[in-house]
Structure formats: structure tokens, C-alpha cells
Chain A
Amino acid sequence: MKRHLNTLFVVTDGSYLSKEGQAVRVKVEKETKLRVPLINLDGIVCFGRVGASPALLGACAEAGVTVSLMSRHGRLLARVVGFTPGNVLLRRTQYRTADDPDQSAFIARNIVAAKIANCRSVLLRSARDSSNSQVKDSLQAAARSMENPLREARHAKSVDTARGYEGEAAATYFRVWNDLLGGKGFVMNGRSRRPPLDPVNALLSFLYSLLSHDARSAAEAAGLDSQVGFLHQDRPGRPSLALDLMEELRPFLADRVALSLINRGQVTPNGFRTSESGAVLMDDDTRKTVLSAYQKRKQDKLTHPFLGEKTTVGLLVHLQARLLARHLRSDLDEYPPFLWR
């Protein structure tokens, strides 16, 4: 089984990454800031103006280290990969499955049901921890009204139906997010993306983009094509399978990190600013805090509910990618999504 490997985040403008032996060296203004052996890395994520030598990019492709280039605000610009690795037979099966609406729906509905269930767990857990009876009631009511889409999604006959129930549940879920934020000066008016219109949405979008980098790496590492999904439609440049894989992990990984950063006061509204276009951006310190919290979260240990193996939160997406591959190879009758209890 894969070891949990670390991700290197390069956030300093003007950094240059080069290869030194079998390690990556981060230089800023001719000064070496960090030197990490490639065997300890699973990915490198660069934000903003960061350069890298061709020799390093080649070595990363060879070693299976995914290099993602992001804009300063965490939007993916490009990803560097070598020759497509993985197993051609598995990928052919993946395409055939994705072309078959019934088989796609069979996978998509499990993903959607798990996502709704995990969102409900977020609400119910916060309701348990809350001392405010009004908040408790509101969260429990929202969780109750998510039971119906959850039940229906489980038996959805088509991908579109599953997507419909997902949308319904998501609207209910984000409607009560203000109750989760516990008056720490953050206000959220539903989910907004491209651009995120308030700090909470900016935080979520940023965490989701980190998770999608990891999901992408996991899909490719399992030998799958990260661009061909079952729940998400093909679109040029869209990592549909990575989006599929991260769907059930969003609440458990990203949303919980966002909530705990806010509730512990590690992130405050002052750490964000609004640009002319209305998009809300994080300042550098906030970004570092969020990156650290996300990395720390990935080291938390848990027992995988389906496999019964001890693992870490960071490896979940890799395990799920492998379980999906096993389902595609017909070793498993159904895709067992990750359910957080």
C-alpha cells in the first residue's frame, strides 16, 4: 500500500524549482529555501509566479510526482505529466463504462448518495456540539430535509436524476451554513463560485482546488484517466473523474477544515479582501494557515469503513480511486463510496 507522502506547496513569487540529484530544490533570489527528496513527495503545487527547470519536471513525471501550477488564488492553470501512465486496459474499460448511461448512473448515484450522507453528518455533528438550541433545531431540520434526496439518489436510474437530488441537497446544506459559522464575523449567502463573493466561499473554493489536485493525482496513480468521469460530463480540460472522486470527500475533508479554521479563530474576516470585480481573495498569511491546516488534516488517522484498514485522511482519495478501479475491472459489484460515520 502507498505510503502517505507529502505535498510541497510553493507560494513565494519568483521561486525557482530545480533538480538536484533525486531531490527538488526551491530557490528564492539565489538562496536555497528548501530541499526535499522526490521519494518523500506525492505532488508539488505552485501558486503564482513560480518557475521550474525542464530537468525537474522530467524527473517528477518519472517519479510520479504531480506538478500543478495554480493562479495566486488557487485556480488550476496547468498540470505537468509525463507520458500517460497506468493501464491501457483499465482506461478502455473506464471509457466504455462512461459511455454507458446505465453503468454510469450506477456509479454516480453511489457517489451522490455518499456526498449527501456526509453533508448530513457535518450538520448533525455540529448540531451535537452546539449549545444554542435554535442553531441545533435549524441544523437538525436541514439534516431531516436531506433524508429524502438521499433516499431517492440511492435509487436514481439516470445520472441526471442523481445530479438533481444532489443539487437539492446542496441547496439545503449551504442554506444553514450561517448557523455553522457561529457568529465569528463570517456571513455566507449560499454557495458562490467563479468568483467567490464572500470569505467563506473563497475559503471553500481554495480548499476544493487543493482537494481536486489530490484527486487528480489519485486517479492517475490508480491508472485511470482523470478526465473521464461518470457523474461529471466531459468538458475539455475538466478533470471530471477527479471531480467525481472528490465529491464524497468534500464535506469530510474540505468543509470540516474550513469550519474548524473559522470556529477556532485561526482564520478571520480581516484575512480577506474584495477586488474590484467583487471576487474575494485571501491574503498570504491566511493562505499559509489554510495550507497548513489542510496538510495536517490529511495526516489524521482513521479506519477505512469499507476496507477496515487503518489509513490516513490524505490516502482516502487514493483508496477510493483504487476501489473505483476495482469496480471497473468487475472485481467489485458496486463502487463503495466513502461514508463518514
Chain B
Amino acid sequence: MYVLVTYDVATGDTEGRRRLRRVAKTCLDYGQRVQNSVFELSVDPAQWTECKNRLLKEADVDEDSLRFYYLGQNWRKRVEHHGAKPSWDVDDPLIA
């Protein structure tokens, strides 16, 4: 499944900045960063459960907000990119 994760973390204090960093790091274990606080993850249900638990542990839900968009199987039809920093498709041939 393909999940889009966006978040807003209150970065007014060092504590907030730390949470921001840790939320980002967690997302990067499961997918790629497509914009500053926007990540696209290609995960199976078990991996997603694990990821979600980790994210909710890192965030402080009184201060921050997290949004998960489930893009399903046909995510390619639902995503359109314009401009710089195009993402790569994790199912395309990966040749570096």
C-alpha cells in the first residue's frame, strides 16, 4: 500500500525541533521525502502498523498534527508532480 504522511510539528522550542527531526527520521526508514514535511511510503500493512506506532510515539499530539493519506494501489494516477525535486518510483528499476 502507498501512504502519504504529512505533519506539522510545533517547532517553537528545542523540544519541538527534536520531535520534528525524530518524526522525519522515522518516516525515512519507510519511504522517501518528497517535500519538507511530506513523505511517501510504500509499505505492507504490518510495516505500516509498525511505522504508525513509532510516529505517534514520537509526536506530541497536543502540540503537533500528523495526517495519513491512504493512496491505495493506483497511487500513480492520484499523484501529479510539478517543478523541482521529482521523486522516484520505488518499483522502477533502481540503478545507481
> Which A residues are within 8 Å of any B CB, using their own CB?
3-4, 6-12, 15, 20-23, 26, 28, 33-37, 39-40, 288, 291-292, 295-296, 299
A28 to B95: give the CA distance in the assembly, Å: 13
Interface residues on B, range: 10 to 19
Which chain B residues border A295 with CB–CB below 8 Å? Answer: 92-94
Which chain B residues border A11 with CB–CB below 8 Å? Answer: 95-96
Which of A12, A21, A22, A40 has a CB less than 8 Å from the CB of B90?
A40
Q: Contact: B30 with A39, CB < 8 Å?
A: yes
A308 to B95: give the CA distance in the assembly, Å: 33
Q: Which residue of B lies closest to A3 (CB)?
A: B44
Extra inter-chain contacts (12) besides given A6-B90, A6-B91, A299-B91, CB under 8 Å = A7-B94, A10-B96, A22-B29, A28-B96, A33-B96, A34-B94, A35-B32, A36-B94, A37-B29, A39-B30, A40-B31, A292-B95
Which chain B residues border A299 with CB–CB below 8 Å? Answer: 91
Known: A3-B44, A40-B42, A40-B90. A9 touches B95 (CB 8 A): yes
What are 17 A-B contacts defined by CB distance under 8 Å? Answer: A3-B44, A4-B91, A8-B94, A9-B93, A11-B95, A11-B96, A12-B96, A20-B28, A21-B25, A22-B30, A26-B96, A34-B96, A36-B90, A39-B43, A40-B31, A40-B90, A292-B95
Interface residues of B in 4-26 (CB under 8 A from A): 25
Which chain A residues border B29 with CB–CB below 8 Å? Answer: 21-23, 37, 39
How many Cβ-Cβ contacts under 8 Å join chain A to chain B? 59
A9 to B95: give the CA distance in the assembly, Å: 5
Q: Which residue of B lies closest to A296 (CB)?
A: B93
A244 to B39: give the CA distance in the assembly, Å: 42
A242 to B1: give the CA distance in the assembly, Å: 30
Q: Contact: A37 with B28, CB < 8 Å?
A: yes
* B32 shortest CB reach to chain A, Å: 7
B47 adjacent to chain A (CB < 8 Å)? yes
Q: Contact: A291 with B42, CB < 8 Å?
A: no
Which chain A residues border B91 with CB–CB below 8 Å? Answer: 4, 6, 299
A22 to B54: give the CA distance in the assembly, Å: 13
* B36 shortest CB reach to chain A, Å: 16
* B21 shortest CB reach to chain A, Å: 12
